[in-house]
Amino acid sequence: MLKNKSIHKKNVDKSHRLELMLQAMADRIFLINEDMTIVEQYGSAAETLTDFDVLYPAHVSHELKSALSDVLRSQQPITIRYSVLLCEQLDLSISEIEAWNGIDERWFEVIIKPIDTCEETSYALLHEREITQTYMDEKELRRLADTDELTQVLNRRAFTRHLEHAFNDSTTTVVSCLMIDIDHFKEINDRVGHLSGDEVITQVARICKDNIRSNDYIGRLGGEEFGIMLNRTNAIQAYDVAERIREAVASSSCHIDGHIIVPTVSIGIAELTEHVTSVRELMVNADKAMYYSKQTGRNQVTVHHDNLPHLSTAPLNGANIRRAG
């Protein structure tokens, strides 16, 4: 009898310690039944709330309920992420607002797992943790991976990805691609040095960014060449944008190490039409138009068309390229 009491006391103490540990967690844990009612809650979920619509903003509550339904139906776990804006938290006290530490948006990760309780009622366990810092770190890593270090515009991979997205998106109406190359750039490097050349590249990138919209994209494709993707813009409209960029570059100047450099650019334009079969073809068309601008005088804009003359751009002493094998 005493032994049974001792065992019972140990079990009670163990359960009490476990409950204290769960309540002390920074994460939130909910046990939810098939009626979407919160049966148990632990961690920072100190409030005894049973309704998702009270606990979460409407869009989050809807997303979680939908995920819970999927888990209970499929008996497979689901992981989702959601964010909450400070402006949505209308019932927060001053101290609770201050606890946000100046952050306008907080991110959370929720893991929802089915629970087998051998009862008729189905349950799911919802484990929620804040991942704001992790999300911000991941976002910064993505930005760094997509950004050209010198100019802070997109790199070639990221720019091409945006073109691929537009090409594969059935809702895309019309898109134009600009290829922009700084004229006589090798001579600039040879006469005033590569660091001065970097200044010219940075200035041209800045001028391009200033002359496109926030929903357009610019990327440095390599060396002194840039690409611009203009959304909802046909070739004729793109010509006006390209001319604006060309004139802005030609009217600017770089003052570097006692030199005044007045750069110019050659620009080619290609429109994404039903006859273009790939992003590569679109970029090649814009590239051909850009080289036509270079070979016929530089500091000008050319729109690609099927009858565009083919001009040889190969120098007399070209690269040594041989067939393999």
Write the CATH number for 249.
Answer: 3.30.70.270
In this structure, the answer to whether residues 73 and 178 fall within a common structural domain is no
Surface-to-core class of residue 251, CB atoms within 10 Å of its CB (0-12 exposed, 13-18 middle, 19+ buried): exposed
In this structure, the answer to whether residues 169 and 193 fall within a common structural domain is yes
Place of tokens 């961690």: 43
Domain count of the fold of the chain: 2
Give me the residues paired with residue 259 across strands. 256
Q: Where are the alpha helices (DSSP H) in the chain?
A: 2-24, 52-55, 58-74, 94-98, 132-146, 156-168, 185-192, 194-210, 235-250, 279-295
Do 151 and 201 form a contact (C-beta atoms < 8 A)?
Answer: yes
The pTM score is 0.70
In this structure, the answer to whether residues 169 and 298 fall within a common structural domain is yes
In this structure, the answer to whether residues 193 and 230 fall within a common structural domain is yes
Give me the residues paired with residue 52 across strands. none
Kindly state the tokens that stand for 156. Answer: 């070639």
Residue 114 makes CB contacts below 8 A (sequence gap 6+) with: 71, 72, 75, 76, 77, 122, 123, 124, 125
298 lies in some domain: yes
312 lies in some domain: no
| Annotation says 199 is catalytic | no
What is the full per-residue pLDDT of the chain (325 aa) written as tens digits? Answer: 555 555 544 444 545 444 544 444 458 888 888 888 888 888 765 555 667 777 788 888 889 899 999 999 999 999 999 998 888 776 777 777 777 777 888 899 999 999 887 777 889 999 999 999 998 989 888 888 999 999 999 999 999 999 999 999 878 789 999 999 999 999 888 888 878 889 999 999 999 999 999 999 999 999 999 999 999 999 999 999 999 999 999 999 888 878 888 999 999 999 999 899 999 999 999 999 999 999 999 999 999 998 888 766 544 333 222 334 4
In this structure, the answer to whether residues 196 and 122 fall within a common structural domain is no
In this structure, the answer to whether residues 92 and 166 fall within a common structural domain is no
In this structure, the answer to whether residues 165 and 227 fall within a common structural domain is yes
In this structure, the answer to whether residues 299 and 154 fall within a common structural domain is yes
In this structure, the answer to whether residues 135 and 9 fall within a common structural domain is yes
75 lies in some domain: yes
79 lies in some domain: yes
325 lies in some domain: no
Residues of the domain holding 66: 2-140
317 lies in some domain: no
Q: From the candidates 199, 224, 225, 271, give the one annotated as an active-site residue.
A: 224
320 lies in some domain: no
